[in-house]
Structure 1
Amino acid sequence: MSATRLLVVDDEQDLLELLVRRLKRKGFDVDSAGTAEDALELVKKNEYDIGVYDIRLPGMDGIELLKKTKNVQPDIEVLILTGHGTIDTAIEAMKVGAFDYITKPYNLSELELTIGKAAENKALKEKNDSMKKIIAQHNGFNIIGGSVNFKEVLEMTRRIADSEVPVLIEGESGTGKELFAKALHYWSCRADEPFVPVNSGALPEHLLESELFGHARGAFTGASQDKKGLVEAAKGGTLFLDELGEMPLALQVKLLRFLETGEFRRVGDVRERHVSVRVVAATNRDMEKEVAEGRFREDLYYRLNVVKLTIPPLRERKGDLPALIEHFIGKTKDPSKRLSSEAFAALEDYDFPGNVRELSHLIERGVLLSKGSMIGAEDLLLPHTEKTKAEAEVRLSPLCSLEEVEKVHIENALKQMNWNKTKAADVLGISVRNLYRKIDQYGLRD
């Protein structure tokens, strides 16, 4: 293991030399400077674990040096050396990132002990960061994208990950909203606690409350024993409310109370329970419109919308296609296959109504249908190149109704997704529950 590397800054030359000799004898790798300006030049050239800065320096003072150091090396731990008359200033230094302060004249053994604590703290942070990466990898966590608008959202996600505030993630179906919810979880201090998703559109309305908050024995027919809800399952971690716009109004009231107090009751129970969870919600709907039209509570919307992340659709970040395509091919059973130039051009011209999820399905299908090592444009079966007879008839008929158009559109989506209703609902941008209603309405069958 390499020695802890220190940067000691003090304008009292005799004291500086004494301190450097003592620390080197203790096994530290030490650089020194007599001014903040010289120290900053060293910071720009070398990496340090610990900084020991006198607060009173000629020109730039220790606090300003601390701020500039953190801009260059955010992970460095800095100790401030201060006289009795400047303790308030030292405390202010801690507010802007100092690890601790020591008053002059100080005991060298005390200083060494504090340096050791700072080194342990830095090592613990590095270990935690490493563990978060391992946890993320084990959960299949991977965000791909380098386009400007996508990187802006990703950077915002990193900045707010360690806060406790609720986050609302908006974006079209298939843009990767759950992936960003996982990023908020795995980049936070809750990373080793549960990440629990709740899909508001996948459950019948009468079961959703029980699924979310749990129920007591005998609460309803079939409730033969007490059941813990997903809120309790997420204790200490993150509760992800997907398809927020599908949540029934009656349940919205109970969710609001839980967000405000952390308290809830299981269905059929009188006991108040309390859990600490971070709530992240996602929707593909225009929630302000939902509020204006009375389908969603305004107070709950603003309670959830403390910070908003808007994920751009794939058609607005076509520059990410090469990396995404390579990633999805790599996940198939034949990762050696490649996309032909004609196939790539066809994808570049396509608008991807199902976004990244649709691209994943297209690549999977292309790998399966292609016969050689190359995936051709014809292997992708892009919707605009595979028009069904029914679609053509609808387009040509000037008297067709909107219902007929919707029926054909839904049936085509179901066929493309091999009647996988979850995938078809994602492509159509509607909930699974709503898709089942449409299937019954139009008498569609596999």
Structure 2
Amino acid sequence: MIQTTRLLLVDDEKDLLELLVKRLTRNGYKVDSAESAEAALVLLKENYYDVAIYDIRLPKMDGITLLKETKTIQPDSEILMLTGHGTLETAIEAMKLGAFDYLTKPYNLTELELTINKAINNKSLKEKNESMRKIIKQQNEFQIIGESETLTEVINLTKRIADSEVPVLIDGESGTGKELFAKALHYWSLRCDEPFVAINSGALPEQLLESELFGHVKGAFTGANQDKKGLVETANEGTLFLDELGEMPLPVQVKLLRFLESGEFRRVGDVRERKVKVRIVAATNCNLEKEVAAGNFREDLYYRLNVVRLTVPPLRERKDDIPLLIEYFLKKMNHSQKKLSNEAMEALKQYHFPGNVRELHHIIERGLLLATSNYIEVEDLLIKAKENQSRPSLTFDSLCSLEEVEKTHIKNVLNKTGWNKTKAAEILGISLRNLYRKIEHYELVEV
């Protein structure tokens, strides 16, 4: 019997409740008890339980309602229902709602203990199956493709630091595969069986991002109808990947720094401190040093995260990997019989790839769609126009500042893409939010 197994007993018959607590505690379980569903809900929000045992008939909120609430708060807990007055239909309803089993009062204590053990074994089996399912899925889907010297250096460094607990900052242009290396840090480490949780730091407004990261309590803000666990709790013992780190709002940066320093945090609207153990991996395609100088990113957070840095090379710096990547994409898309003509392969090796590996994937998808034989030809790739956009010429009559170069380059890309900001941001290798900020800073207008 697992000594750390934690049980929650809920019954309004006080004498029976005390008897059960003594018996189960004596047998090595850690047991909490409550005489009402309301009191049980308080315990459920503060502690995790492997198995909960509820009497169906309780004052005010009944056991069926408590079962529903529990599955929302702790969906992995196994629940046993006790009924002395209910009907078979009530027990069946409980099973449909996720109860593991039910016993009818009066029941034999030995029978109860056997059912608890079955629930524990069932929970353990589900956890093992889920872990195995995730491992198999990772083996099937997780691959870093390439043998070039520049990529191999990054792969080797990733393997060396995978088991470390220190934060890692991954930088590189958009589409180079930064999240893939974040997953490598996780799945090549001893924490590979624990959660890998990712969030785009620039995709959400400040309040929503804070709530997603740290969770919130009921009533913390409009629409917070129940307590919610944040991603730092979900990632406990595993890895939290913060993509687009440079776009994180400053107030959330403050809270992230505090969490990095102590492992402690508060849910939005809560006063209680919580603590978890999470490895933080962050990624950015912007120049954080420049963002720090501009006051858009906290210097102390930058140094706290920049303990180890991985720089993922752009595809134009590892063009020897292009044939391997194409072979991988064709196989993944179930078109292994298709090949690129020599001319098409040479055209791709000469291409600048502003969108990097992600763009190559899209080009191959397009080539497959347009090809009329088993060979994908140059004209099927449609990359000439993109090549012209990727490297607009900059000419200046006199020496000028870096700001002027950036302003002119951004303006050229916007004009050549017809002010398609999403496309322009992809070519520039920056986030859409960052592009909007630069348009405002340089007072650029469409003409």
Q: TM-score, normalised by structure 2?
A: 0.61
Taking the aligned partners of 1:431 and 1:347, their CA distance within structure 2 comes to: 25
**Could you tell me whether the CA contact under 8 Å between 1:234 and 1:277 is conserved in 2?**
yes
The one-letter amino acid of 1:382's match is I
Structure 2 contact 217–227 (Cα < 8 Å) conserved? yes
Residue 298 of structure 1 corresponds to 299
Separation in structure 1 between the aligned mates of residue 157 and residue 253 of structure 2, nearest angstrom: 27
Partner of 2:378: 377
Aligned to 2:339: 338
Hey, what's the Cα distance between the residues in 1 that align with 2:380 and 2:190? 45
Please report how far the alpha carbon of residue 427 of structure 1 lies from its aligned counterpart in structure 2 after TM superposition. Answer: 4.5
Equivalent residue letter for 1:430: I
Q: Residue 329 of structure 2 aligns to a residue in which SS? A: helix
Match of 2:138 in 1: 136
Question: Matched residues in 1 for 2:257 and 2:328: separation?
Answer: 39
Q: Secondary structure at the match of 1:279?
A: strand
Are residues 1:430 and 2:430 paired? yes
Q: Provide the residue aligned with 2:163 in structure 1.
A: 162
How far the C-alpha of 1:135 sits from its partner, in A, is 5.5
**Match for residue 368 of structure 2?**
367
Give yes or no for contact 2:167–2:306 (8 Å, CA) kept in 1. yes
Question: Residues 14-56 of structure 1: CA distance to partner in whole angstroms, max 9, x if unpaired?
Answer: xxxxxxxxxxxxxxxxxxxxxxxxxxxxxxxxxxxxxxxxxxx
Distance 1:330 1:413 in 2: 32
Change (3 A) 1:267 1:411: farther
Between the aligned partners of 1:401 and 1:306, the Cα distance in structure 2 is 35
The amino acid that maps onto 1:142 is Q
Residue in structure 2 matched with residue 108 of structure 1 by the alignment: none
Q: Residues 245 and 437 of structure 1: is their aligned pair in 2 closer, same or farther, counting only changes over 3 Å?
A: closer
Cα offset, 1:226, TM superposition? 1.3
Shift of 1:403: 7.4
**Counterpart position of 2:258:** 257
Counterparts in 2 of 1:436 and 1:203: CA distance versus 1, 3 Å: farther
Equivalent residue for 1:289? 290
Residue 286 of structure 2 contacts residue 430 of structure 2 at CA under 8 Å; is this kept in 1?
no
Mapped contact 1:201–1:432 kept (Cα < 8 A): no
3-state SS of 2:143 partner: coil
Equivalent position amino acid for 1:297 in 2: R
CA distance in 2, matches of 1:222, 1:287: 34
Q: Match of 1:408, as an amino acid?
A: N
- What's the secondary structure of 1:276's corresponding residue? coil
- Does the CA-based 8 Å contact 2:410-2:428 persist in structure 1? no
C-alpha distance in 1 between matches for 2:376 and 2:275? 54
SS at match of 1:188: coil
- 1:17 counterpart residue number: none
Q: CA deviation at 1:310?
A: 0.8
- Residue 207 of structure 1 aligns with an amino acid whose one-letter code is L
Pick closer, same or farther for the CA change 1:403–1:317 going to 2, 3 Å. closer
The answer to whether the 8 A contact 1:342-1:376 is kept is: yes
Aligned residue for 1:215, secondary structure, equals coil
Decide whether aligned partners of structure 1 residues 136 and 379 sit closer, same or farther in structure 2, where only a CA change above 3 A counts: same
Corresponding residue of 1:208: 209
Partner amino acid, structure 2, of 1:136: Q
Match of 1:219 in 2: 220
1:34-433 paired onto structure 2 within 5 Å: 134=136, 136-138=138-140, 140-384=141-385, 405-411=412-418, 425-433=425-433
**Equivalent position SS for 1:280:** strand
Q: 1:70 maps to which residue?
A: none
Return the offset for 1:344.
0.6
- Does the residue aligned with 1:253 lie in a helix, a strand or coil? helix
Distance 2:314 2:426 in 1: 14
Any conservation in 1 of the 2:218–2:224 contact (CA below 8 Å)?
Answer: yes
Backbone CA RMSD of aligned residues: 3.2
Q: Deviations over 1:238-281 (max 9, x none)?
A: 00011110011111110000001101111111111111110001
Cα distance in 1 for residues equivalent to 2:411 and 2:310:
36
Q: Offset at 1:323?
A: 0.4
Aligned partner of residue 228 in structure 1, secondary structure = coil
SS in 1 for 2:373: coil
What is aligned with 1:49?
none
* 1:161 to 1:387, Cα distance in 2 relative to 1, 3 A: closer
User: Could you tell me which amino acid in structure 1 is paired with residue 414 of structure 2?
Assistant: K
Change (3 A) 1:402 1:182: closer
- CA distance, structure 2, for counterparts of residue 298 and residue 151 of structure 1: 31
Tell me how far apart the structure 2 counterparts of residues 290 and 320 of structure 1 sit (CA, whole Å): 32
Separation in 1 of the partners of 2:226 and 2:232?
18
Segments of 5+ residues of structure 1 without an aligned counterpart are 1-129, 415-420
Q: Go from structure 1 to structure 2 and tell me whether the alpha carbon gap of 1:166 and 1:437 turns closer, same or farther (over 3 Å shift).
A: closer
How many residues are aligned here? 302
SS in 2 for 1:144: coil
2:289 and 2:444 map into 1 onto residues whose CA distance is 31
In structure 2, the CA distance between the partners of 1:142 and 1:211, relative to structure 1 (3 Å rule), is: same
Shift of 1:214: 1.2
* Residue deviations 1:195-228 (CA, integer Å, cap 9, x gap): 0011012112332111111111111111111111
For residue 385 of structure 1, report the CA deviation from its aligned partner. Answer: 6.3
Percent of residue pairs identical: 65
User: 1:413 and 1:349 mapped to 2: Cα distance?
Assistant: 25
The code of the aligned residue for 1:350 comes to Y
| Distance in 1 separating the partners of 2:199 and 2:283 | 10
2:151 and 2:372 map into 1 onto residues whose CA distance is 35
SS where residue 359 of structure 2 aligns? helix
User: Structure 1 residues 433, 355: CA separation in 2 closer, same or farther (over 3 Å shift)?
Assistant: same
Structure 2 residue runs without a partner (length 5+)? 1-131, 398-406
